[in-house]
Amino acid sequence: MLKIENLHAEVEGKAILKGINLEVKAGEVHAIMGPNGAGKSTLSSIIAGKEEYEVTSGSIELEGEDIDELAPEERAHAGVFLSFQYPVEIPGVTVTNFIKTAINESRKAKGLEEMPAKDMLKKIREKSELLEIDRKFLSRSLNEGFSGGEKKRNEIFQMAMLEPKLAILDETDSGLDIDALRIVSNGVNKLKSKDNAVIVITHYQRLLDYIVPDYVHVLHDGKIVKTGDASLALKLEEKGYDWIKEEVNS
Ligand SMILES: Nc1ncnc2c1ncn2[C@@H]1O[C@H](COP(=O)(O)OP(=O)(O)OP(=O)(O)O)[C@@H](O)[C@H]1O
Ligand SMILES: [Mg+2]
Q: Please name each of the domains of the chain with its CATH number.
A: 2-249 (3.40.50.300)
pLDDT tens-place values along the chain, 250 residues long:
999 999 999 999 999 999 999 999 999 999 999 999 999 999 999 999 988 899 999 999 999 999 988 999 899 989 999 886 567 778 889 999 999 999 999 899 899 999 999 999 999 999 999 888 988 999 999 988 888 788 888 888 999 999 999 999 988 777 788 888 888 888 889 889 999 999 999 988 888 999 999 999 999 999 999 999 999 999 998 998 888 888 777 7
Residue 171 pLDDT: 81
Query: Which residue out of 8, 14, 42 has the highest number of ligand 1 atoms within 8 Å of its CB and is therefore the one to mutate?
Result: 42
Residue closest by Cα to atom 2 of ligand 1: 11
Residue 86 is predicted with a pLDDT of 60
Longest dimension (CA), the chain: 61
Atom nearest to 34 CA in ligand 1 = 21
Q: 184 CA to middle of ligand 1, Å?
A: 25
CB within 6 Å of ligand 1 — which residues?
A: 11-12, 16, 34, 36-42, 52
Tell me which residues have their CB within 5 A of the ion that is ligand 2: 40-41
